[in-house]
Structure 1
């Protein structure tokens, strides 16, 4: 997720994405498809006989295909990514949807592919004592600048606590310090998390200030030369292996020319062990710095140390694709409900020994299969929907929610005509549950519609059990939320019918340890899909109410996104 199904990721984070372009160049996915030998074409969408209703066998077929080795982990800008978008398009076509982007099935998303040289060394110098950190083992580095080489020499290091400037919280870690041209070092998550203090921010519940994406954005706004986040597993909600896997190999971004936000020349993470040694060498205690950073009035601390590195990267301008299919409404076709899921994953890591294909079966072939199944049910159902439905399979989620960011900037339906959004990202495959999790529960009136569906199923709606992980900011719905459009993001329940919470938590630990953002995230015939079907039926029900009626759900009173929606809609009655 950029976010992930809590049943699997109780201890994991969402995509180290987040989780964010001038004429559009020819799509690299299209080029890849054109140069792929005929024998390697995407599987025939009609080879399987599909049912009209949401069906476990159909769902399994879709996931099995999208996560097969043939698709090579669905990396954007790769032949496997090209196969994925062609397969999704073929499914939309088979169902009877219409091309949703001005007559095209595809929305090209211009991007920069940056592959860092993993022989890069980060040298930390404290009073002449130089420590060299190795890429992958001790640190990861990348650049969003689009430059093939970023060289930093003797950049002063400054510890800026959590790297947060939040006026409404009366909190500014940058107060009184000029970091222009310097390298900032900071902690992950919010001050309230490590301090275990509910009076700071939202206590254990992560705010957007706790996301690593925000921290790099803020460091860039302050003029820093580079930024390093200190990893800790509880604060990040994932281990170093996830950081290493997500920041190795090709990295993707919107082109700098198409993104108005400032960018750092270089950014990355260092391990807790490397950070502890750095602070010790600088005459400081890291634990004491954690405590100090969690108190109001914290002042940035120069470390009397410098950072140097010569980061070389292979940079290529490419393009990936969102896939958009539309089922036009019979009465108000200009108004639309959006179902979405991201099709991309981490691709194939050349050079890794053993299995080096990151198949992304749960994350997120399941979500794409889910929106296809819902689309088929809508297309076959009578009466036909009065409002339109847009089914959007977005790219570059794993790189920072970039495909959805691009869609929100260039929507198939204007945002003030978008009734609501349902995002599906990583579904549970361990059977039925007594509950359904709403990530960020208490945000919008879409939850009221969902509750009516789960009440009929005899299930309860629950909030995520680890709000400190910040899942709400880690998947594609968040771009719609920031723009003001009510967006619903659910994850399969944690209280399993077979085994209860104990079984759900065991499954979470197993997935986190063995499959999340690893080659082991593969389809298995042992999956129990009856819970998936129940979840999809509930999400279908939300859309059914919206497309058959004239209501415009909003954010709840007091929600931070409500003002943007109210401003967008103005005094007009959108139902007219």
Structure 2
């Protein structure tokens, strides 16, 4: 019942176009969609020639050239002055993968048992007999009455933390948000909070269910070359070692300390858990090769006629993981679904709206964008959010594709989050016009609200909506393809899901670009506060 009441409330808050006008938009896109061009875009971007589209690689140059050429041929204007490219200054950090972690006299093997990296601009980062402390979930959340660090000095020490948050562990809706992950459950938060507390190193204990992916994803995502933005202090304020350990490694360490890890894990999900020193010391040296270089965001503009300074954005990140080692052999991780499929979708929508605008210009400006280094922590999106083409208060909404349904169409569309922003009302109406239902995120514990580029813009107050269909329509995807070599282009894809989802997005974009309202945040959050401070409430 809550869902239906909420939907009615949302519809009353915003002025939306009629079902008939949305039907017209859906039909117009479906009729004009060039499936052959879409296939070609995905196949090209996900080809071995593009090398997995890693930032600062030859694959980046091929990718941004392809996008720039596509936008120019469409007749769209550059988004960054006279350029389609926004330079994103990065540091490229490559740690020597022969590193070895020793805790309490036990040696662990990089890749198979732990991963470790840094974002500090330092050629060497060392843990030298660093005291190890178990701090539960590593969360300081006053609004939930929770502080795992209370009364604890972790300056210069190594902390071991659990993945996700206590709500997932308890499945109690009164604890955080129950099964639905909050930002406190994300690995990015764990490192950020540990840095605020002064810790030198963090090791997150991996378990597949609360992490929402297997160890192979951790390994592929955290070994080899990584990228970071660089602050005025060369990132020295960040935690020195950003690590993960296997569940079995944690069990072994706690046993060495005379403790039962799994029992203490259950205790950590209870309020007022007290941190536990393991009386073990950690030793690790990261030897880093550091290069400074520029990666690039790519974006193009379709100017609005009556309110050109008001912007609606359609986005998909262009980068993926490049080449990694799997089974001792180099493997190109092409990221066909994640996220060549989304980039091709943005191109398809850009072509459609340019053709439509030649006949009937939109009121507001549409921006079609593709950012770098999403896979390393939303880096390109963070840079754009700090250096936007218009003030973020003038960005109406940010729609983001991060993996499309490449198979047959379905009678629903996924909604990530509930009661978060008025953009959900647009989604409800567009889905209804298609004869589809809106289905709640079946895996809210995965925290997808915080795992793609829309989150970086949300942190600046811009309402966003994620479109993702990775494991929902392909049950094999997360286990065997996500961030793995098997995420390749497949000529047998039917693309029925792509067609229907892009048509839905087209109808939402048209409604937002020809409307006058500013979708609001509904849920009390930093996002809402940030937006209200700009006067867009």
Whether the TM-score (by the shorter chain) exceeds 0.5 is yes
Shift of 1:241: 0.8
2:464 to 476, 482, 487: 487
| Preserved CA contact (<8 Å) 1:194 1:290 | no
Matches of 1:448 and 1:412, distance apart in 2: 27
- Name the residue aligned to 1:113: 92
Q: 1:355 to 1:222 in 2, by over 3 A?
A: closer
1:400 to 368, 373, 377: 377
Single out whichever of 521-530 and 343-352 deviates more from structure 2: 343-352
Shift of 1:442: 2.3
Give matches, 1:196-211, under 5 Å: 196-211=171-186
1:413 corresponds to 2:413: no
1:88 corresponds to 2:77: no
- Name the residue aligned to 1:65: 44
> Gaps (5+ residues) in structure 1?
1-50, 495-503, 572-576
1:75 to 30, 49, 54: 54
Q: 1:466 to 1:112 in 2, by over 3 A?
A: same
| Preserved CA contact (<8 Å) 2:403 2:470 | no
Per-residue CA deviations over 1:225-255 (Å, capped at 9, x if unaligned) read 1111111111111111111111111101111
Shift of 1:524: 0.5
Matches of 1:316 and 1:87, distance apart in 2: 25
Per-residue CA deviations over 1:382-439 (Å, capped at 9, x if unaligned) read 3111211111110000000010010010001211111111101111112100100011
Matches of 1:171 and 1:79, distance apart in 2: 46
| Preserved CA contact (<8 Å) 2:121 2:236 | no
| Preserved CA contact (<8 Å) 1:146 1:256 | no
1:369 to 327, 340, 344: 344
2:123 to 148, 172, 176: 148
1:439 corresponds to 2:405: no
Per-residue CA deviations over 1:487-524 (Å, capped at 9, x if unaligned) read 11122498xxxxxxxxx56x22x112221101111101
Secondary structure (helix, strand or coil) at the match of 1:472 reads: helix
- Name the residue aligned to 2:266: 291
Matches of 2:452 and 2:325, distance apart in 1: 27
Shift of 1:54: 2.5
Shift of 1:159: 0.3
Shift of 1:292: 1.1
Q: 1:281 to 1:557 in 2, by over 3 A?
A: closer
| Preserved CA contact (<8 Å) 1:433 1:493 | no
- Name the residue aligned to 2:5: none
Secondary structure (helix, strand or coil) at the match of 2:362 reads: coil
Secondary structure (helix, strand or coil) at the match of 2:132 reads: strand
Matches of 1:364 and 1:188, distance apart in 2: 25
Per-residue CA deviations over 1:35-67 (Å, capped at 9, x if unaligned) read xxxxxxxxxxxxxxxx99333222111100100
Shift of 1:107: 0.3
TM-score normalised by the chain length of structure 1: 0.85
Matches of 1:70 and 1:546, distance apart in 2: 37
Matches of 1:258 and 1:530, distance apart in 2: 49
- Name the residue aligned to 2:226: 251
Give matches, 1:508-547, under 5 Å: 508=475, 510-547=476-513
Give matches, 1:4-83, under 5 Å: 53-83=32-62
Number of equivalent positions:
507
Single out whichever of 346-355 and 267-276 deviates more from structure 2: 346-355
Superposed CA RMSD: 1.9
| Preserved CA contact (<8 Å) 2:114 2:243 | yes
Secondary structure (helix, strand or coil) at the match of 1:547 reads: helix
- Name the residue aligned to 1:463: 440
Matches of 1:348 and 1:405, distance apart in 2: 24
Matches of 2:525 and 2:205, distance apart in 1: 31
| Preserved CA contact (<8 Å) 2:470 2:477 | no
1:548 corresponds to 2:527: no
- Name the residue aligned to 1:192: 167
| Preserved CA contact (<8 Å) 2:518 2:536 | no
1:564 corresponds to 2:526: no
Give matches, 1:109-508, under 5 Å: 109-125=88-104, 130-257=105-232, 262-349=237-324, 356-381=331-356, 382-492=359-469, 507-508=474-475
| Preserved CA contact (<8 Å) 2:121 2:234 | no
Per-residue CA deviations over 1:123-157 (Å, capped at 9, x if unaligned) read 011xxxx1101100110000111111111110000
Matches of 1:441 and 1:429, distance apart in 2: 25
Per-residue CA deviations over 1:325-355 (Å, capped at 9, x if unaligned) read 0011112111110111100000123797556
Q: 1:206 to 1:301 in 2, by over 3 A?
A: same
| Preserved CA contact (<8 Å) 2:213 2:479 | no
Secondary structure (helix, strand or coil) at the match of 2:485 reads: coil
- Name the residue aligned to 1:26: none
Per-residue CA deviations over 1:443-493 (Å, capped at 9, x if unaligned) read 111121122211111001112101011011000001111111111112249
Shift of 1:530: 1.3
Matches of 1:350 and 1:137, distance apart in 2: 12
Per-residue CA deviations over 1:272-293 (Å, capped at 9, x if unaligned) read 1111000001011011111110
| Preserved CA contact (<8 Å) 1:112 1:318 | yes
Secondary structure (helix, strand or coil) at the match of 1:413 reads: coil
| Preserved CA contact (<8 Å) 2:470 2:478 | no
Per-residue CA deviations over 1:344-374 (Å, capped at 9, x if unaligned) read 0001237975561110100000111111111
Matches of 1:351 and 1:529, distance apart in 2: 29
Matches of 1:244 and 1:380, distance apart in 2: 44
